[in-house]
Amino acid sequence: MKKILQDLSFGELETLVLSYGEKKFRAKQLFEGLMQGKRLSEIPVSSALRRALLEEYEDEPVKIKETFVSKEDGTKKFLFELADGNLIEGVFMRYKYGNTQCVSTQVGCRMGCKFCASTLGGLVRNLTAGEILGQILAVNRSEGGTLKDRAVTNAVLMGSGEPFDNYENVVKFLKNVSAEGGICMSPRNISLSTCGIVPAMKRFADEGLPVNLTISLHASSDGERARVMPVAKAYSIAEIMDACAYYFQKTGRRYIFEYTLIAGENCDREHAEALAMLVKGQPCHVNLIRLNEVKERSLAAADEKAAYRFLGVLEKSGVSATLRRSLGSDIGGACGQLRASYLENKQEDNKDEN
């Protein structure tokens, strides 16, 4: 695979341009063009420079292959193709305060959470910083956004993959996406969700990036958590809480716990009370979401009544919490489903041809 131009920071691009004997200002032109989601052929640089770059570098790391639009709420799901043919997906949601894009950090995932579709085929590979950024650049452009007037204003690292299992590339992405002269998205408008890889949480706290940290909890005891999240065998809830406290101490930022409500697993009154006990008094918020059912898994969503009861218990205990509504449910359920069903259809097509 060729190297990826969008992996480069502005400074790295400058060094590269100078190494080709070109003037420094070409780097600015190039950077601005790339951050607008343009290909080299659309950026006014000399044909010699374009040719030299294309010999070594890929200029379109993420292509929109298909778009699915929800009739219910306008949410869009994108199927992206990477330069090596791998597929990832992303979701674009419109809210009153801005437009949020859900971004993938890996092709597949190796965390093995029992409720998640992204992990069904295991980890295929990490995405590079430019492939993570490329998802945002492609959607910003296709939605009519520019660098000044962005269509994508917020991002959540909640697509396929575990961001902290691809730490270096994710941090580089965060630096490049917020860099001046580029798409310049504030880290404050970005949320990173982790299944709770404790050493990486601590390292991230030291990174000095004001990103919103979200931790997927889904249970209040290690035993229950390990039933749905294998990573719970590596890091205990106590260690996660420690890392959260460290994060707050270093950054002064509140953090968020994600809690997916799964019927018969984690959504009884006792579970809500245990969660309230666990997080009460912490500088945190709890995001509840009813499970998006994944057809390969036997787990079912908690019903709405149970979800509101759960929320009520948290609120009564003084825990800040919301029950998130699910967007785009008519265009293919849970995270990871789009890629999985696309690959499945492809296999069916191939069968027909044989």
Single out the residue of 211, 241, 291, 327 in contact with ligand SAH (rule: CB under 6 A): 291
Question: With contact defined as beta carbons under 8 Å apart, do 141 and 194 qualify?
Answer: no
Catalytic hit among 14, 60, 89, 162: 89
Stretch that binds ligand SAH, among 18-26, 29-37, 263-271, 285-293 (CB under 6 A): 285-293
Output the smallest distance, CB 159 to ligand SAH, in A: 7
Closest by CA to 285, choosing from 206, 191, 174, 177, is 191
The verdict on 260 binding ligand SAH (CB under 6 A) reads: yes
Output the smallest distance, CB 349 to ligand SAH, in A: 26
Distance (Å, rounded) from C-alpha 150 to C-alpha 137? 10
H and E: helices and strands count for the chain = 11, 14
Tokens of 245: 């406290």
Single out the residue of 158, 170, 198, 232 in contact with ligand SAH (rule: CB under 6 A): 158
Output the smallest distance, CB 20 to ligand SAH, in A: 39
Stretch that binds ligand SAH, among 54-62, 74-82, 146-154, 290-298 (CB under 6 A): 290-298
Binding mask 99-128 for ligand SAH (x = CB under 6 A): ----------------xx------------
Q: Given the structure tokens 């590269």, which residue do they identify?
A: 16
Output the smallest distance, CB 327 to ligand SAH, in A: 12
Is 224 an active-site residue?
Answer: no
Output the smallest distance, CB 294 to ligand SAH, in A: 5
Binding-site size, ligand SAH (CB under 6 A):
16
Distance (Å, rounded) from C-alpha 243 to C-alpha 141? 38
Single out the residue of 7, 60, 258, 265 in contact with ligand SAH (rule: CB under 6 A): 258
Single out the residue of 107, 292, 319, 332 in contact with ligand SAH (rule: CB under 6 A): 292
Length of the chain, please?
354
Distance (Å, rounded) from C-alpha 184 to C-alpha 152? 11
Looking at the DSSP assignment, which residues form a beta bridge with residue 89? Answer: 79
Single out the residue of 335, 338, 339, 340 in contact with ligand SAH (rule: CB under 6 A): 335
Q: Given the structure tokens 């950077």, which residue do they identify?
A: 31
Tokens of 218: 């889904």
Question: With contact defined as beta carbons under 8 Å apart, do 267 and 323 qualify?
Answer: no
Tokens of 335: 């995270």
Q: Which amino acid is at 264?
A: G
Query: Where does this chain bind ligand SAH (CB under 6 A)?
Result: 115-116, 158, 162, 193-195, 216, 258, 260, 289, 291-292, 294, 334-335
